[in-house]
């Protein structure tokens, strides 16, 4: 198993390199520089000399191949460069944002699993009944709402109208509830649908018929034979979902002023703090690859057919 | 049916329906037969004749779109066709158990075979898991699996098809049931393994006194092991008789067709009866449940069909020696 | 079974309504969505003259929602077409030819899967100037990994089948075999993925608008209308409600349609996604 | 109508009361401020950033030589008790405070000031404050790496410093922002300083959660006696206006900067309307017209554009009166504002006539480069495009990112653009953007050329700061520019700060409403964070 994990880690390297190259290329042609962004709000009369010196200080005037060479040389030593805006190492800047994003996405994913999977189970077991119809209507609606709008509505309802929860902020667990809730709706709906489909499929599987022929009650059939089998697929699905959740976290973080990688990314794009942008995307990609690795390891633990190969 | 003693299983005018596209059709109709204790009863017919549905009905495992419509199933004299799910559940596995066609998928891929056998003891004998797992080793030994104490730790995908079917049989016979429904138990297996498995079923049931309803599309399999045979076509039994009799004197044209399509046994039997030498196939295909033809349902495929066959469905004709046939022109 | 048909019918109905609304917008709309700004009418509540009210610039929200259907459908359809073409081309060719090309495409697909598509789209939007063409490129280049994987897997299994072998023996060229023998057989799942992806594209447009990187006004797009109206929610809620409902019902329709089509075209693969 | 008047009266009354009866400031409590311009702060080194967002927190922790006095609407001495100016107006001698302590307890001396200014012009770095420090003689040499220290700065003794300027300007306008904050020379060189800033301000740093908030605590050794009033100051980063609105209404934050849509909502709300603070900011919103784009080379065309757009209607309907109609470049808060200048009339006939005279009887087409900003971006253009169409002028929007806008404008890569630029506080500096010697890349974006304006500005330069006649002269320049109409003059922003009723002592800062001197703010007992 250790060997397996190590090999998977090794396989990540080319993907990461490719991603690094890709985002470098993208952001080497991005219009506007950090210097022009600092003057973009039109508040201060722009000092051309300072802008020019900024470009020089950060090497923004260098030709592309020189910048790329520097970038690769830095990457080789796990150095992501210096944030143009705060002049701190990008790794430090990212480090401060990692935990909040992890917190938010994990909470949303766990919530989605905790709500979506049972919902899908119940819908499948009561397939054709009103519980099934209702939960599937709910699920498909959940997949059809613009995320920021959903977040805003939750904010209005739970913070302003009901006054149960704070509308923004970061710190104690109550701050996490609303953003996690908003973020969990999409994966929850998907998981509910997946779970339902998987469970329905398994309910018609031969081994479930065998289990029934053994004289098992439906409860036991579900507990002894259905759950684990459904879990393998649901888990894989959840792992894939994780990627899109991290992506959507960008929207939620911006809306709820959540201090994660997503809001940092958006802010850094608009201020053209390119090293931080590159770092953020790399970080998110690593995040996703690791979550997939975790899912694969877990699936292999549950499913004896999957070997660590 | 037999005067005097009560048969182990009696099926009387059983009618099972299937619902498709808002329309309900009879997949099985007017089904009657009886199985004695310890008897091996064969049910034969092409796929789609309603054999498996019948077996599921006996197990009480009909699920939508299949449903019981009318008729009676008596197990040890007790009517079970309308038994509640809980009561039926106690019957299943313990008194009536079943071996399915597909050993590759009949077992849960995520549980060890030992555990899957042990479940039977936990469910029906009230054993704890630990004890049950020991019993599972013994049950696996009984179905002639080598090194059963090792095999119980295996997962289904680690076993061959024949081994898996042995495991399925071990599960089915774990609690010494009175009736075993074997639905095409050897179809998916290599020819070499088929005989072993049939022999295994035969021997174990004989030893335990378990009656067997052996379902197969393969008359050869039936001929090998059954005492009595019923031939099904399009949801109805078209002929029922002792095994010897069916093969030596097939009365229904469908039965004849089936026999004549058999390479080994068929060639011999037909040679004896009709003097034909060529292997023959029955032309056409089994009709779908939704459009069973009117009249004799076999008439579109029957070489001897007359206007009467098209107009009228034949009733069951009882013949001497307990045999019966459903044909206007039976031999 | 019956539920499936209901899905299909409802989905088709919703999408049909959107398509008709978009196509007939010039006739159905009361005013020009861009030019007919009349500040004298700014933020009029819905009524007889302005069915959905007017926005901050005094434009008829009803007309803008109708024209917005064009934008959203264009975004959905074109971006998914691009995705499908890329995905199918790469998937079929890599599955068919295998070898280094397959390795290369698999690597590319893995990389694409590793970057969340919204973030990828965000990055592409940053380098292109805001607008519908950029959006089509951004959404069209970032979501093809699914169709690529599916068509590759399907090609792998079809490759060994009789009719493909037969076509090979008849001396058909590779490209011809892919186009005439393989492509028709994988069209079903691809259409399903495309339909569901269209819903995703409409939502992504809204998300990018919220992040300030979507279609810019005055072009009427539901995403930017909704996103721009979020501050007016207390003073003029209708400015947000109608484009919001339009997005919701369109995506809902696409999802239902996709579900229904899947059951119809691709019955084996149940609702896995 | 009556209702509106009564309401207006009530607002005036409420504000009047606040201003007239000074309540005794209450000690203690937490001020919960918001930073609305983006989703994060740059970092903790304020010398490194000149974004408005970062100045918001820096004013609590740091102090510069001067500070902005909102009541007087000009910068006043802060870290020095007195200053004397030489007769040629170039040498300033500051008597520094001897009671100013850094948060780590050390007393500020002249060395800290000199060290800080030298740091800002450090040659390898590009601190934005360099453009202010450059006014000191010898700073440019340091910037270029030709000298080690700024020759124009001289320490007389620990609390006396002599500053020689390169030209006659008022240094007060240069040294009142936190980009020129005085750092502790000993601490600021340490690496930890970037995470844990130490300054002279009324609040000392406690916690920074990047992307979320900065928490600061009262600094007991702050030099202003009895200040700050509050125990704690939290500044939340809240970029999304809709989310900020919810938080404010939910009483989770004490202040919120309002956009136009919210302004009208708050004004219409009986409770919220009671505590809205307004000020005309030193920003002028306008559309620049490129003189190298042929039609705009003609002054009459530019004037026609000004006459063809009903700016009053846009301000009323779209900006919800959250702005004042511009009548010239200098805003109403500028000392050289000319209240006799009348805005261009909305006169289609006149516009057509001017166009015909200029040779465009059938109008022409042009493109407006605009960002998505609701107050000075494409939404505004969307509103006036139909108006221009009536005069025969067809306009099209070229949407760009805020960052790209500035770059395009500085390069002259546009036909017309919509922007908002600072037009204060120093009127001379603001008008210098119309001096032909000012390059396009600095702020003469339309390459405006007028010998008359040049002459007036040069004269004003010679008069030196503090000359009472200077403003009168500048008014003439302003009027000339206005008549030349290099821009479509749109409006002066009215900055609006909504605050909770328990927050007192907020100032109307015309430079940027969100820049407050926190030591003057206090929290009364009704605040949920009063403890």
All residues of chain A having their beta carbon less than 8 Å from the beta carbon of residue C110 are 15
Contact D346, D523 (CB under 8 A): no
- Is there a contact between C42 and D399 if contact means CB atoms under 8 Å apart? no
Rounded Cα distance between C266 and D3, Å, is 65
Q: What is the pLDDT of residue D357?
A: 93
- Is there a contact between C37 and D383 if contact means CB atoms under 8 Å apart? yes
Per-residue confidence at D14, pLDDT binned at 50, 70, 90? very low
For residue range A58-106, list pLDDT tens digits in order.
888 888 888 888 888 888 888 888 888 888 889 988 998 999 999 999 9
Percent with pLDDT over 90 in chain B: 2
User: Is the pLDDT at D9 greater than 50, yes or no?
Assistant: no
All residues of chain A having their beta carbon less than 8 Å from the beta carbon of residue B111 are 224-225, 228
Backbone angles phi, psi at D491, to 5 degrees: -155, 170
Per-residue confidence at A309, pLDDT binned at 50, 70, 90? low
User: Is the pLDDT at C80 greater than 70, yes or no?
Assistant: yes
Of A18, A29, A233, the CB nearest to C111: A18
> Residue D293 carries which DSSP code?
S
DSSP for A218-251, please give it: HHHIIIIIIHHHHHHHHHHHHHHHHHHHHHHHHH
Q: Which of B311-320, C232-241, D21-30, D189-198 has the highest mean pLDDT?
A: D189-198
Pair of tokens at residue A147: 């995320």
In angstroms, the Cα distances linking C244 to B42, C61, D298 are 65, 12, 46
Q: How many CB atoms lie within 10 A of CB C239?
A: 27
Helix H, strand E, coil C: the string for D322-390 is CEEECCCCCCCCCCCCCCCCCCCCCCHHHHHHHHHHCCCCCCCEEEEEECCCCCCCHHHHHHHHHHHHH
Contact B38, B209 (CB under 8 A): yes
Residue of chain A minimizing CA distance to B85: A217
The 3-state DSSP class for residue A94 equals helix
All residues of chain C having their beta carbon less than 8 Å from the beta carbon of residue A22 are 111, 115
Q: What is the pLDDT of residue C42?
A: 66
User: Is the pLDDT at D5 greater than 50, yes or no?
Assistant: no
User: Is the pLDDT at D297 greater than 70, yes or no?
Assistant: yes
Rounded Cα distance between D307 and B82, Å, is 91
Rounded Cα distance between C176 and C164, Å, is 11
For residue range D163-184, list pLDDT tens digits in order.
999 988 889 988 999 999 999 9
Q: Is D397 on the interface with A (CB under 8 A)?
A: no
User: Is the pLDDT at C267 greater than 70, yes or no?
Assistant: no
Per-residue confidence at D264, pLDDT binned at 50, 70, 90? confident
Chain D 312-351, residues with CB within 8 Å of chain A CB atoms: none
Q: What is the pLDDT of residue D333?
A: 86
Per-residue confidence at A45, pLDDT binned at 50, 70, 90? low
Please tell me the pTM assigned to this model.
0.84
For residue range C183-238, list pLDDT tens digits in order.
888 888 888 888 888 988 999 988 888 888 877 766 778 888 888 788 777 777 78
User: Is the pLDDT at D6 greater than 50, yes or no?
Assistant: no
Residues 6+ apart with CB under 8 A from D318: C39, C42, C56, C57, D260, D379, D380, D383
Q: Is A225 on the interface with B (CB under 8 A)?
A: yes
Strand-pair partners of D283: D422
Q: What is the pLDDT of residue A229?
A: 87
Residue of chain A minimizing CA distance to B171: A214
What kind and span of H or E run contains B258?
Answer: helix B253-260
How confident is the model over C53-71, as a mean pLDDT?
79
Of C37, C130, C218, the CB nearest to D401: C130
Q: Which of A62-66, B135-139, C173-177, D39-43 has the highest mean pLDDT?
A: B135-139
Of B105, B120, B155, the CB nearest to A214: B120
Interface predicted TM-score (ipTM): 0.81
The 3-state DSSP class for residue D31 equals strand
Q: What is the pLDDT of residue B291?
A: 77
Rounded Cα distance between D416 and D297, Å, is 12
Q: What is the pLDDT of residue D2?
A: 47
Q: How many CB atoms lie within 10 A of CB A11?
A: 12
Residues 6+ apart with CB under 8 A from A103: A176
User: Is the pLDDT at D428 greater than 70, yes or no?
Assistant: yes
Do B and D touch, counting CB pairs below 8 Å (3 needed)? no
Q: Pinpoint the alpha helices (H) of B184-229.
A: 191-208, 219-225
How confident is the model over D514-529, as a mean pLDDT?
92
User: Is the pLDDT at C266 greater than 80, yes or no?
Assistant: no
Of D51, D252, D407, the CB nearest to A36: D407
């Amino acid at each position: 198993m250790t060997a397996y994990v190590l090999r998977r880690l090794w396989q990540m390297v080319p993907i990461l390199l490719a991603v690094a190259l890709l985002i470098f290329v993208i952001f080497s042609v991005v219009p506007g520089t950090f210097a022009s962004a600092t003057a973009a709000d039109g508040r201060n009369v722009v000092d051309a000399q300072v802008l020019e010196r900024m470009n020089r200080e950060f090497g923004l005037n260098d030709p592309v191949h020189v910048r790329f060479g520097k970038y690769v040389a830095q990457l080789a030593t796990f150095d992501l460069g210096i944030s143009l805006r705060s002049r701190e190492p990008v790794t430090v800047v990212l480090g401060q944002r990692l935990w909040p994003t992890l917190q938010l996405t994990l909470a949303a994913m766990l919530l989605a699993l905790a709500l979506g999977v049972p919902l899908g189970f119940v819908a499948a077991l009561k397939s054709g009944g009103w519980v099934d119809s209702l939960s599937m209507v709910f699920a498909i609606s959940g997949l059809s709402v613009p995320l920021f709008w959903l977040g805003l509505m939750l904010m209005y309802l739970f913070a302003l109208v009901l006054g149960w929860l704070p509308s923004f902020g970061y710190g104690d667990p109550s701050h996490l509830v609303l953003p996690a809730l908003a973020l969990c709706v999409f994966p929850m709906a998907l998981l509910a649908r997946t779970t339902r489909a998987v469970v329905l499929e398994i309910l018609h599987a031969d081994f479930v018929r065998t289990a029934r022929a053994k004289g098992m009650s439906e409860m036991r059939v579900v507990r002894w034979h259905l759950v684990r089998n459904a879990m393998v697929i649901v888990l894989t699905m959840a792992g894939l979902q994780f990627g899109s959740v991290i992506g959507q976290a960008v929207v939620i973080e911006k809306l709820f002023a959540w201090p994660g990688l997503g809001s940092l990314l958006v802010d850094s794009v608009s201020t053209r703090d390119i090293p931080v942008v590159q770092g953020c995307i790399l970080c998110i990609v690593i995040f996703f690859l690791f979550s997939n690795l975790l899912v694969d390891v877990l699936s292999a633990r549950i499913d004896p057919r999957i070997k660590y190969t | 049916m037999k005067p005097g003693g009560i048969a182990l299983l009696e099926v009387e005018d059983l009618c099972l329906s299937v619902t498709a596209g808002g329309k309900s059709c009879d997949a099985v109709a007017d089904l009657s037969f009886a199985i004695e204790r310890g008897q091996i009863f064969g049910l034969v017919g092409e796929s789609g004749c309603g054999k498996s549905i019948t077996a599921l009905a006996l197990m009480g495992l009909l699920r939508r779109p299949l449903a019981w419509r009318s008729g009676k199933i008596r197990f040890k004299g007790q009517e079970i066709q309308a038994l509640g799910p809980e009561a039926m559940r106690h019957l299943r596995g313990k008194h009536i158990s079943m071996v399915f066609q597909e050993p590759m998928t009949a077992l849960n891929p995520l549980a060890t075979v030992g555990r899957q056998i042990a479940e039977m003891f936990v469910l029906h004998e009230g054993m704890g898991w630990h004890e049950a797992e020991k019993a599972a080793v013994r049950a696996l030994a009984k179905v002639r699996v080598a090194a059963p104490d090792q095999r119980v730790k295996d997962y289904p995908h680690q076993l061959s098809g024949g081994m898996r079917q042995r495991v399925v049989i071990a599960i089915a016979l774990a609690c010494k049931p009175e009736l075993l429904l074997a639905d095409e138990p050897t179809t998916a297996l290599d020819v070499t393994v088929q005989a072993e498995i049939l022999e295994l079923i035969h021997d174990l049931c004989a030893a335990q006194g378990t009656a067997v309803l052996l379902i197969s599309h393969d008359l050869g399999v039936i001929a090998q092991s059954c005492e009595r045979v019923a031939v099904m076509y399009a949801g109805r039994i078209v002929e029922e008789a002792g095994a010897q009799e069916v093969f030596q004197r097939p009365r229904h044209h469908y039965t004849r067709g089936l026999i004549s399509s058999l390479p080994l046994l068929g060639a011999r039997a037909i040679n004896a009866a009709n003097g034909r030498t060529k292997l023959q196939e029955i032309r056409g295909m089994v009709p779908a449940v939704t459009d069973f033809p009117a009249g004799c349902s076999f008439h579109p495929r029957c070489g001897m069909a007359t206007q009467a066959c098209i107009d009228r469905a034949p009733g069951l004709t009882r013949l001497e020696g307990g045999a019966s046939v459903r044909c206007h022109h039976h031999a | 079974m019956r539920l499936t048909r209901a899905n299909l019918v409802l989905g088709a109905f919703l999408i049909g309504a959107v398509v008709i609304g978009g196509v007939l917008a010039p006739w159905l709309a009361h005013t020009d969505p861009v030019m007919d700004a009349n500040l004298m009418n700014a933020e009029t509540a819905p009524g007889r003259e302005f069915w959905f009210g007017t926005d901050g610039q005094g434009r008829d929200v009803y007309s803008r929602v109708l024209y917005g259907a064009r934008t959203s459908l264009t975004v959905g359809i074109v971006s998914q077409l691009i995705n499908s073409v890329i995905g199918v081309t790469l998937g079929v060719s890599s599955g068919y030819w295998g070898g280094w090309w397959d390795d290369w495409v698999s690597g590319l697909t893995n990389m694409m899967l590793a970057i969340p598509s919204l973030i990828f789209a965000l990055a592409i939007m940053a380098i292109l100037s805001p607008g519908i063409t950029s959006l089509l490129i951004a959404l069209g280049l970032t979501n093809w990994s699914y169709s690529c994987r599916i068509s590759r897997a399907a090609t792998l299994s079809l490759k060994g089948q009789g009719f493909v072998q037969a076509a090979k023996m008849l001396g058909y060229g590779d490209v011809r075999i892919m186009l005439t023998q393989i492509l028709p057989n994988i069209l079903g799942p691809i259409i399903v993925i495309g339909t569901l992806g269209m819903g995703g594209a409409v939502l992504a447009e809204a998300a990018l608008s919220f992040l300030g990187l979507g279609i810019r006004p005055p072009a009427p797009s539901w995403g930017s209308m909704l996103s721009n109206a979020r501050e007016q929610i207390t003073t003029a809620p209708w400015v947000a409600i109608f484009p919001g409902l339009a997005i919701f019902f369109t995506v809902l329709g696409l999802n239902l349609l996709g579900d229904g089509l899947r059951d119809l075209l691709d019955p084996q693969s149940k609702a896995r996604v | 109508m009556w209702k509106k008047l009564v309401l207006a009266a009530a607002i005036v009354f409420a504000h009047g009361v606040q201003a007239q009866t000074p309540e005794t400031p209450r000690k203690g409590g937490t001020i919960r401020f918001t930073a609305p311009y983006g989703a994060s702060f740059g970092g903790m080194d304020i010398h490194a950033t000149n974004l408005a967002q970062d100045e918001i927190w820096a004013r609590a922790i740091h102090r510069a030589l001067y500070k902005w006095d909102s009541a007087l609407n000009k910068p006043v001495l802060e870290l020095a008790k007195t200053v004397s100016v030489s007769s040629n107006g170039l040498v300033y001698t500051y008597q520094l405070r001897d009671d100013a302590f850094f948060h780590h307890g050390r007393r500020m001396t002249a060395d800290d000031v000199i060290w800080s200014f030298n740091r800002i012009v450090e040659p390898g770095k590009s601190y934005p404050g360099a453009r202010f420090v450059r006014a000191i003689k010898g700073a440019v040499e340091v910037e270029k790496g030709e000298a080690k220290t700024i020759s124009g700065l001289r320490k007389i003794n620990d609390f006396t410093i002599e500053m020689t300027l390169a030209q006659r300007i008022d240094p007060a306008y240069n040294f009142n922002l936190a980009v020129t904050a005085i750092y502790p020379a000993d601490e600021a060189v340490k690496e930890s300083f970037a995470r844990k800033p130490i300054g002279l301000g009324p609040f000392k740093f406690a916690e920074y959660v990047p992307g979320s908030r900065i928490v600061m605590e009262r600094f007991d050794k702050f030099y202003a006696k009895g200040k700050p009033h509050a125990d704690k100051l939290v500044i939340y980063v809240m970029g999304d206006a809709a989310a900020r609105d919810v938080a404010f209404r939910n009483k989770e934050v004490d202040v919120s900067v309002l956009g136009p849509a919210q302004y009208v909502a708050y004004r219409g709300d009986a409770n919220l309307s009671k505590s809205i603070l307004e000020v005309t900011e030193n920003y002028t919103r306008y559309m620049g017209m490129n003189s190298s784009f042929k039609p705009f080379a003609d002054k009459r065309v530019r004037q026609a554009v000004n006459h063809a757009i009903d700016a009053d209607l846009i301000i009323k309907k779209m900006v919800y009166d959250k702005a004042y109609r511009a009548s010239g470049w200098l805003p109403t808060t500028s000392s050289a504002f000319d209240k006799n200048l009348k805005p261009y009339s909305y006169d289609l006939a006149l516009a057509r006539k001017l166009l015909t005279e200029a040779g465009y009887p059938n109008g022409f087409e042009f493109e407006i480069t605009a960002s998505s900003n609701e107050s000075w971006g494409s939404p505004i253009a969307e509103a006036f495009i139909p108006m221009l169409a009536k005069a025969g002028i067809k306009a099209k929007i070229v949407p760009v990112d805020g960052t790209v806008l500035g770059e395009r404008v500085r390069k002259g890569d546009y036909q017309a653009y919509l922007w908002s630029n600072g037009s204060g506080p120093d009127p001379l500096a603001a008008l210098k953007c119309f001096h032909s010697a000012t390059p396009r890349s600095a702020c003469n974006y339309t390459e405006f050329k007028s010998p008359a304006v040049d002459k007036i500005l040069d004269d004003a330069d010679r008069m030196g700061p503090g000359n009472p006649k200077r403003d009168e002269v500048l008014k003439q320049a302003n009027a000339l520019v206005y008549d030349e109409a290099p821009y479509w003059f749109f409006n002066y922003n009215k900055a609006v700060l909504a605050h909770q009723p328990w927050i007192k002592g907020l100032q109307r800062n015309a430079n940027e409403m969100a820049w407050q001197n926190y030591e003057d703010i206090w929290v009364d007992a009704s605040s949920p964070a009063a403890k």
